[in-house]
Every structure is written in C-alpha cells, then in structure tokens.
Amino acid sequence: MVITPLKDGPNQVAGGVVVQDPDGNVIKEASTVYLCRCGFSQDAPLCDGSHRRNNWSSAFR
C-alpha cells in the first residue's frame, strides 16, 4: 500500500485497499481509493471532489 497526499486534494491510497466503517462494514474495496482530508466531503471518508468547489489548499497540512 502506498499513501500519497495529493496537492490540494485527497490522500491517494494505492495497492489494494478496503475502507470500512467503525462497525467493520465495507464502504469501498478497490485497488486505489481517495480519502478526504479537507473535511468538506459529503461522502466521508471518501473524497467527493468538494475540495475543488471549496478551493481547499493543502499548503499548510
């Protein structure tokens, strides 16, 4: 697994990933997922593109 914080965007997690909720239910299973780090996603923990609409910057994160 490789985690890459994308400039002004989500954390890209590549290499085979299972994202689960706190109860262990699978939210998404994929070779690559994008996890929100801006806090605006309506589909958290996944990125839904809201970082772009909010002009979020990763400069200080």
Which residues in this chain contact ligand FES in the complex, by CB under 6 A? 9-10, 36-38, 40-41, 47-51
Give least dist CB 9 to ligand FES, A: 5
Instruction: For residue 15, give both structure tokens.
Output: 């290499």
CB 39 within 8 A of CB 27: no
Cα torsion 32, 5, 35, 55 to 10°: value is -130
Centroid of chain to Cα 15: 14
- CB-wise, 11 or 18, nearer to ligand FES? 11
Nearest distance in Å: CB 16, ligand FES = 21
- Cβ of residue 44: shortest distance to ligand FES, in angstroms? 8
